[in-house]
Structure 1
Amino acid sequence: MEQLDVLRKLCLALPEATERLSHGSPAWFVRGKKTFVMFADDHHGDGRLAFWCPAAAGVQEELVRTEAERFFKPPYVGPRGWLGVRLDVDVDWAEIDRIVREAYRLVAPKSLAALVE
C-alpha cells in the first residue's frame, strides 16, 4: 500500500522513531514509548484510509471546521486534540510531512524535538 509505505518512511526518518503494531495497526513511537502517529485502515468500518496524530491546541478544531474532506476528529484520541488525516483523498505529502513532524515534536523529549526542523 503506497500511502502506508510513504507514511512509514516519513515517520522512521525522525530521530529514535520506532514502529510496531498497536491495536492491530502500524503505529510509530518516540524511543519506543510515546505514540506520535497511528495508521488507520477502515477503522471499525469507517471507510477511511488515514492516520491519527497529536496536534497543537486548536489545530484539530480549525482543520476539521475548514477542511472536513481531509481532516476529522478520530475516535478515542480525538477528545484529547488528536487529528485524523485522510490518505484516501488527494494527498499533499509535503503537508503530511509537516503534520508528522509537528506531532513528533509534541511528544518527543526536548532534546530530540530540537533535532527536527
Structure 2
Amino acid sequence: MVTEHDVRRLALSLPATTEKASYGTPGFRVKDRLFARIREEGDVLVVWVADEGEKRGLVESEPDKFFTTPHYDGHPVVLVRFGGVDIEELKELLTESWRLRAPKKVLTQLGG
C-alpha cells in the first residue's frame, strides 16, 4: 500500500511543484494549479484525468482502486484508494494529473 510519504515524494519530484494545503489537507500544485490532494480520510488521493469518459471508465472497471463522490460530478477528477495502487501506478497517476494541469511552458521541463 502506498503512503502519504510516497505521494509527497513523487509529487514533489515533478517540475515546478510545491505543496500547499487544500481544504486543510496536503495539496500539490504546479505553478499554483492544484493537481493532486490527499483527502481527509488520509488514504485517498484526488487526481485529474483527461475527461469524464476516462473517469467513468476507471471507476467502472476498477472500483477497488477508483471512485468518485457527488462533489466531483461534472469534473474530470477521480479519487484513488492508497490500498488499490502500487508505487508505479501512483507515479503514473500523479504524472498524468500534473501534465493535465501544468502550464505549457512548464510541460517542456518534463518533455511534455
Q: Which runs of 5+ in 1 are unaligned?
A: 43-47
Of Structure 1 and Structure 2, the greater helix share is in: 2
Equivalent positions of 1:7-46 (< 5 A) are: 7-31=7-31, 33-42=32-41
2:58 is the alignment partner of 1:59:
no
Q: Which residues of structure 2 form unaligned runs of 5+?
A: none
* Partner deviation per Cα, 1:52-73 (whole Å, 9 max, x = no partner): 0110122111010000011011
Give, in angstroms, the shift of residue 35 of structure 1: 0.2
Q: For residue 69 of structure 1, give the secondary structure of its aligned residue in structure 2.
A: coil
The residue identity in structure 1 corresponding to 2:30 is V
Aligned residues: 109
Moved over 3 A (4+): none
TM-score by length of 2: 0.88
Of structures 1 and 2, the one with the larger relative CO (CA 8 A, separation 6+) is 2
Taking structure 1 as reference, are residues 81 and 114 closer, same or farther at Cα in structure 2, changes over 3 Å only? same
Deviations 1:90-115 (A, max 9, x none): 43110110110000010101121232
1:11-30 per-position Cα deviation (integer Å, ceiling 9, x unaligned): 10011100011111000011
User: Does residue 100 of structure 1 match 2:99?
Assistant: no
CA–CA distance in 2 between the matches of 1:5 and 1:23?
19
Query: Percent identity, aligned pairs only?
Result: 28
